[in-house]
Amino acid sequence: MRGSAIFRQRIVVTAASIVLLAGCGRAAPQPLPSFTLNNQSGRTIRAEELRGRAAVISFIFATCYDVCPVVTAELVQAQAKVRSAGMSSIVRFISITVDPEIDTPAVLQRYATRFGADTATWDFLTGHPDEVRRVVRAMGLVIADDRGRPGHGILVLFVNSRGEVVHRYTDVEHLSTHILDQLLGSRRPGLR
């Protein structure tokens, strides 16, 4: 009897810890900056179009051989999990290039194809270099290394259906699971 009481107590403590830790690192929602960019098909995409569905926003460039392939591969897994969970209609994936001079819509289409991204629910965006730099800076990403070449750290944003950035991921470990958890959590009142 005593053993089962200790076990129940451990479960309660563990559950409470998980609830407390879930809030760590979560800042107040910030509005998604406005933007007008073009996707891999040349179609204009505006930030306002993302309202009404959750969005997962990442930053890449097609000639990157460092973090971009890792992030994109993890997001392809996330997209597959979202599809398997029947939630494709409530989330949109967005990847914004940090090298718009090179990453034309055609280059981004090849990049998406190379990774197996489903472009029915994933837009790879580029645009005028000044607009891309403005948007990327407004989202909190530094885009040049010390020699002025395109470069960046890992930043993946989770945007709720109201167009608010509610979570920032700076690590790809378990990213697809975190995204699915955010989507499931966004169905709870107050997080939509």
Residue 144, in any domain of the structure: yes
**Which CATH number goes with the domain that contains 135?**
3.40.30.10
Indicate the pTM of the whole model. 0.79
Question: Which of residues 23 and 27 earns the better pLDDT score?
Answer: 27
Residue 13, in any domain of the structure: no
Is the pLDDT assigned to residue 29 strictly greater than 60?
yes
Residue 4, in any domain of the structure: no
43: domain range?
Answer: 30-186
Dump pLDDT digits (tens) for 142-189. 777 665 566 778 889 999 999 999 888 887 777 777 777 777 775 543
Residue 22, in any domain of the structure: no
Residue 3, in any domain of the structure: no
Residue 72, in any domain of the structure: yes
Position 94 confidence tier, pLDDT thresholds 50, 70, 90: very high
Predicted pLDDT at 66: 86
As for how many domains the chain has, the answer is 1
Residue 140, in any domain of the structure: yes
Residue 18, in any domain of the structure: no
DSSP string, the chain: -HHHHHHHHHHHHHHHHHHHHHTTT-PPPEEPPP-EEE-TTS-EEEGGGGTTSEEEEEEE-TT--SHHHHHHHHHHHHHHHHHHTT-GGGEEEEEEES-TTT--HHHHHHHHHHHT--TTSEEEEB--HHHHHHHHHHTT---B-TTS-B-----EEEE-TTSEEEEEE---TTHHHHHHHHHHHHTSTTT-
- How much is the average pLDDT of 69-89? 91
Predicted pLDDT at 19: 31
